[in-house]
Amino acid sequence: MSPRLEASLGDITMEAVDAIVNAANPDLASGSGVCGAIFAAAGPELVGACAALGGTSTGAAVATPGFALPARWIVHAVGPVWHGGNHGEPELLASAYRRSLEVAAEVGAVSVAFPAISTGIYGYPLEPATAIAVATCRAGPPEIELVRFVCFDDRTLAAYDGALAEP
Ligand code: AR6
């Protein structure tokens, strides 16, 4: 069965789901944006857990505990930097979403919250990014029951609402 997909406004660090996804960088270092907010809210143990993993690659995802977060797990997914769209960006973004759900299922999560990966500092245009997010999560692994797209602003929520309304 496909996961139930929903979008809402909010701060992903507050989400009481099994796993939240971090829009990470390949070094798994604390940056700004949603990544900085997650590192701040999870507490100092997250830095050590990420360092122990030794980094990951664009399109990939790895899990750590959620530490002080309400969520039990953090799945760190690396989306692509937007370079105009002809450098594999759509495939890499789809891979970041697909691998996030697979990694979440591997740790036993059934509910997962995503930020709009790559659409901030990495510059991916919002509408195509949300279309990819929705299409990829609709085809998610059967273990995942709920996917929530947590939007930090109205513009992002409107883009997800549009993508979710597509058949
Ligand atoms: N909850 C939900 N969404 C948020 C939050 C929050 N607390 N804070 C920001 N957003 P970005 P990227 C939204 O730039 O483009 C970092 O430094 C934000 O409005 O966080 O994938 C990493 O370490 C936007 O819609 O991620 C990487 O180096 C979305 O989250 C790099 O930035 C993603 O914006 C990743 O860039």
Give the residue from 98, 82, 166 showing the smallest Cα distance to 131. Answer: 166
- Residue 3 Cα, ligand 1 centroid: separation in angstroms? 24
Q: What is the pLDDT of residues 97-115, one digit of tens each?
A: 999 999 999 999 999 999 9
* Cβ neighbours of 73 (radius 10 Å): 20
Provide φ and ψ at 84, rounded to 5°.
110, -15
Kindly state if the Cβ of 97 falls inside 6 Å of ligand 1: no
d(CA 101, CA 106): 9
Q: What is the pLDDT of residues 11-58, one digit of tens each?
A: 999 999 999 999 999 999 998 999 999 999 999 999 999 999 999 999
For the chain, percent of residues with pLDDT exceeding 90 = 98
On the question of pLDDT at 84 being above 90, the answer is: yes
d(CA 166, CA 146): 18
Kindly state if the Cβ of 33 falls inside 6 Å of ligand 1: yes
pLDDT, position 55: 96
Q: What is the pLDDT of residues 113-144, one digit of tens each?
A: 999 999 999 999 999 999 999 999 999 999 99
Nearest-10 crossing angle of helices 126-138, 89-106: 40
On the question of pLDDT at 80 being above 90, the answer is: yes
pLDDT, position 77: 98
Sorting pLDDT into bands at 50, 70 and 90, what band is 2? confident
User: Could you give all domains of the chain from N- to C-terminal order, each with its CATH number?
Assistant: 4-165 (3.40.220.10)
- Residue 4 Cα, ligand 1 centroid: separation in angstroms? 23
Amino acid at 125: P
Kindly state if the Cβ of 121 falls inside 6 Å of ligand 1: yes
On the question of pLDDT at 1 being above 80, the answer is: no
Best of 11, 81, 114, 121 for a ligand 1 pocket test (most atoms within 8 Å of beta carbon): 121
The answer to whether the CB of 132 falls within 8 A of the CB of 92 is no
- Residue 113 Cα, ligand 1 centroid: separation in angstroms? 13
**Which helix (H) or strand (E) element contains residue 76?**
strand 73-77
Tokens, residue 37: 């907010």
Q: What is the pLDDT of residues 57-67, one digit of tens each?
A: 999 999 999 99
